[in-house]
Amino acid sequence: MADSAAPTGGYGGFQNEIYFAGLSGVVPEYPMDFAGWEARAAHALPPSVLSYVAGGAGDEGTQRANVAAFARWGLIPRMFVGATRRDLSVRMFGLTLPSPLFMAPVGVIGLCCQDGRGDLATARAAAATGVPMVASTLTVDPMEDVAAEFGDTPGFFQLYTPTDRELAESLVRRAEAAGYKGIVVTLDTWVTGWRPRDLSVSNFPQLRGHCLANYFSDPVFRRLLGKDPQDDPGAAILTWASLFGNPLTWDDLPWLRSMTTLPLIVKGICHPDDARRVIDDGVDGVYCSNHGGRQANGGLPALDMLPGIVAAAGSVPVLFDSGVRSGADVIKALALGATAVGIGRPYAYGLAIGGTAGVTHVLRAILAETDLIMAVDGYPTLADLTPEALWAVR
């Protein structure tokens, strides 16, 4: 992990770098908040990619609700604490991470970079900041090449479970061999949700052959196809489409657990009963998420579901994403019990406007705000952020 990840003064020291650079007439190259990243990315991304990243399901009501849910909570300031040093480190799955922030899987992150190699650029940002990347199954570059860019920062592999079990097992074995530290199985995307933005331009990137490197490089997939994907891209895409999307049931969970000795995290859990059952069946981590509102409209904000999931999970780590836009949001999710908090669109927009440097800037900005809120409001450690530290805003 690069030394710049946590500069002198903690992550909040990032603002000192900016202010002192300003004395020499240097201002930040990139915006400092989500609204700025989003606006810049709107000019940097092709319309089809922008709609895919920015859009959600239906009229995007759930997506908006995810964001609005954070405004219903406020952190109660505590004085005379003297929080001159903050400890943001977190331990989960046998790893000690410098902060609770991680980059959630984004299936078209490879297309968000100006050079079209966004998976590699994001992995390099993970190496520079110590913020783990959960690499999607849907990448422009094979998972092995992505993992090679992580440096000392651990990475996780997100699995869209194919209908062919041998192919699923091959993908997991490759992730193990490449050095990933956990497998994140996404449960809510065996079929694509109703996404009007994408439908209006008839754009589904994978059907155009994008972000399928992990399949096209897989020996089991190539055997099922019966030829080199480069020799017949159309047939390769159709084969992928026929294999993608396994509507998993509880009967499949023992098989998922048996595939790997790595930590197994299941993504999309929003009901306490589901959390209790997956833990009873040997899952190592619960990932509370509604896919950022991209899969099903009319649902509840993921943040509202988080406390119930945390209570059901007991000592099992709970990862969270959906609607996180700032350090203040990170703080609130942690106070509601999340072990680690993921961002999606913020780093995708950073990637669009600046590649690795843009992602690094976004991560450092979010970490700096998180750190400085803890300093100002008197919460020196993550253990101090409890539900009692929050007040419901009326």
Six-digit token pair at 223?
Answer: 């055997």
Say what the pLDDT of residue 113 is.
97
Sheet holding 156-159, edge to edge: 101-103, 340-343, 318-320, 285-288, 264-267, 183-186, 156-159, 134-135
Taken in order 102, 106, 110, 114, is the CA torsion positive or negative? Answer: negative
Q: Give 184's strand partners.
A: 158, 265
Position 3 scores a pLDDT of 36
- Four-CA torsion 65, 89, 104, 303, nearest 10 degrees: -20
Rounded CA-CA distance 60/368 in Å is 30
Query: CA-CA distance, 236 to 353, in Å (whole number)?
Result: 32
d(CA 29, CA 166): 47
Phi/psi-derived region of residue 67, left when phi > 0, alpha when psi is between -120 and 50, beta in every other case: alpha
**pLDDT computed for residue 4 by the predictor:** 38
CB atoms within 10 A of CB 289: 28
Spatial distance between the Cα atoms of 213 and 337, rounded to a whole number of angstroms: 36
Q: How deeply is 23 buried, as exposed, middle or buried, from its count of CB atoms within 10 A (0-12, 13-18, 19+)?
A: exposed
Give the largest CA-CA distance in the chain.
Answer: 69
Contacts of 363 (CB under 8 A, 6+ apart): 101, 103, 125, 129, 131, 347, 350
Catalytic positions: 291
Phi, psi of 267, rounded to the nearest 5 degrees = -105, 135
**Among 265, 305, 281, 307, which Cα is nearest to 102's?**
265
The residue ranges of the chain whose pLDDT is under 50 are 1-8
Q: Which amino acid is at 75?
A: L
Cα 151 off chain centre by: 18
Whether the model clears a pTM of 0.85, i.e. scores above it, the answer is yes
| C-alpha distance from residue 392 to each of 220, 339, 352 (Å) | 52, 21, 35
Identity (one letter) of the amino acid at 89? S
Q: Which of 192, 162, 160 is nearest to 294 (CA)?
A: 192
Does residue 56 contact residue 195 with C-beta atoms inside 8 Å? yes
pLDDT value for 9: 56
Burial class (CB in 10 A: 0-12, 13-18, 19+), 58: middle
Distance separating alpha carbons of residues 342 and 46, to the nearest angstrom: 25
